Structure 1
């Protein structure tokens, strides 16, 4: 009974964000210091991919933590977005030249103050524009490359999406279409979640086609990235309830050509994070094409600014010509 009571407290803390769950609040620190420490984990195979390394990100800056989205910029720098509406710009491990920068996405007096729970990012490499998906308000915001100018939209098709499971994943495809997927169904019992396929930029008023995304074994979609062959990698995450809670993560491969109006979009399992790789709350995904046709896959974890989790960065490599496991 006591264990059940403690688990209920953990669930309540995750749902309500109670102070007992989060790290103690410290004095404001705007030092913009960031340290990446490589974890002592040997390289090895994870399914058809190769695990290259894992790094823990640490910073005394009070804006640090809670990263739920990750994209790569033209200069090779990473841009991570947090569920508190903040950003972190930093260099990938083993590289230099990117000044560490903490900040926030632009806001104005008219900007909805609830727009802080950023869950997804995607980018157009030609224009440099960035789109962000926000939960609770179920909004899509388009930022100019300077991240200071923006336009937003609150799609009617997303109005009834779960407050805590709105546009968890958003992806601009190379052909200009957009895919948006909710993390959960509003009823919390379905084995699929709602998705939208836009023929063009939703901020410009494009009308979407609705579909469902299949989520196997109670895993939830939390991010997407496109592969060079036009298929899509989907990052899936499941909470393993315990004291403290744990997490399981998978990567699926899905083809946008299979999306049908009113149909169910499915992917094939590529791999599951397991073995010596820390099973953290991975929510951000970025894909980097390599000259030999393979891709470098980056995952970043959301520490929920809690005392029990870490901000980790994983690096994997995979050749998309290798068949994903069903």
Structure 2
């Protein structure tokens, strides 16, 4: 794998932009379906700490790519989620009246990915001004920046990502309102310390070979960061997950954007725990919306890892009440 990372860096010495034909029109019948789980949960609503469960859905499909979703971001038309097999799911909000739309595509060009380019997408954010998608990958010292229709893409080579071990890459990544990009690794910063995780801070959307500032996050022991998002009111959230023989557990932590600065050691506060067996799963994606009434909703999506007998692709909607500070 290290040889693969080195090869990617060598290839990147010449900037590359690839282009493909526009995507075909959406199919008339979606291959992704939603199942509303709330009717079975309302009689005894799962407790989630300081947040309130406001919606829960399971996504099902006849393709394995649906069961690998890892990163989640908000778009003008709803949401976009990226996954481990180079898949991308774009879908409208399931809590709105009218037809629900969902479409599975591939992050292009898939032909080159079959020749060794990364397909394990772990994190994503959308640039507000351009609508471009910036995607982070497991086991690859690079990001990719896609046009909104996925017809064009640019590689952003970041050798600093090669410092992180295999399968412990940029799980958590977001763009802050002030323009900075923050990336947090799933790996641990120190040997025998299961609480500290490395953080990279870029002044804007990263540029190839740019050297970031560094910081550290401290999470409860054994929990690993799996996503990060900024709330509309400016506060920051981190999603953490823990796996044991008993299954997955997730936590949502809160911190201030000004805490993220060079050399900082940041200890976010836990505001929610997702451990009810009816809704817990391998949650890896998170984004936040502001509702018409001014409230804020946290959305989580899980990676089913193609283990349909043990895991599901779930979407949770959690309300942030005024008491959450």
Normalised by the shorter chain, which TM-score bucket?
A: 0.7 to 0.9
Higher mean alpha-carbon deviation, 263-272 vs 196-205, is at 196-205
CA distance in structure 1 between the aligned counterparts of 2:163 and 2:56, rounded to whole angstroms = 38
2:138 corresponds to: 135
Going from structure 1 to structure 2, the CA distance change for 1:196 and 1:57 (only over 3 Å counts) comes to same
1:314 corresponds to: 316
**Does residue 218 in structure 1 map to residue 218 in structure 2?**
no
Deviation (angstroms), 1:151: 1.1
Going from structure 1 to structure 2, the CA distance change for 1:83 and 1:186 (only over 3 Å counts) comes to farther
SS of corresponding position for 1:64: helix
The runs of 5 or more residues in structure 2 that have no matched partner are 1-26
CA distance in structure 1 between the aligned counterparts of 2:86 and 2:237, rounded to whole angstroms = 24
Deviation (angstroms), 1:208: 1.3
Aligned 8 A contact 1:91 1:100 in 2: yes
Give the CA RMSD over aligned residues: 2.3
CA distance in structure 1 between the aligned counterparts of 2:232 and 2:88, rounded to whole angstroms = 26
Normalized against structure 2, the TM-score is what? 0.82
CA distance in structure 1 between the aligned counterparts of 2:235 and 2:269, rounded to whole angstroms = 11
1:248 corresponds to: 249
* Number of equivalent positions: 290
Going from structure 1 to structure 2, the CA distance change for 1:258 and 1:108 (only over 3 Å counts) comes to same
Going from structure 1 to structure 2, the CA distance change for 1:41 and 1:138 (only over 3 Å counts) comes to farther
**Does residue 55 in structure 1 map to residue 57 in structure 2?**
yes
Deviation (angstroms), 1:98: 5.7
Going from structure 1 to structure 2, the CA distance change for 1:224 and 1:156 (only over 3 Å counts) comes to same
Instruction: Find 1:149's aligned residue among 114, 135, 152.
Output: 152
Going from structure 1 to structure 2, the CA distance change for 1:45 and 1:279 (only over 3 Å counts) comes to closer
CA distance in structure 2 between the aligned counterparts of 1:32 and 1:183, rounded to whole angstroms = 33
Q: Which runs of 4+ in 1 moved over 4 A?
A: 108-112
What does 1:1-326 align with in structure 2 at a 5 Å threshold? Answer: 32-39=30-37, 40-42=40-42, 43=45, 46-75=48-77, 77-95=78-96, 96=98, 99-107=101-109, 113-185=116-188, 189-190=192-193, 191-203=195-207, 206-242=210-246, 246-275=247-276, 277-306=278-307, 307-319=309-321, 321-324=322-325
CA distance in structure 2 between the aligned counterparts of 1:109 and 1:102, rounded to whole angstroms = 17
Going from structure 1 to structure 2, the CA distance change for 1:67 and 1:108 (only over 3 Å counts) comes to closer
CA offset digits 1:18-41 (Å, max 9, x no partner): xxxxxxxxxxxx974122111211
CA distance in structure 2 between the aligned counterparts of 1:237 and 1:103, rounded to whole angstroms = 27
Normalized against structure 1, the TM-score is what? 0.82
CA distance in structure 2 between the aligned counterparts of 1:230 and 1:205, rounded to whole angstroms = 29
CA distance in structure 2 between the aligned counterparts of 1:44 and 1:280, rounded to whole angstroms = 14
Aligned 8 A contact 2:201 2:261 in 1: no
Aligned 8 A contact 2:232 2:288 in 1: no
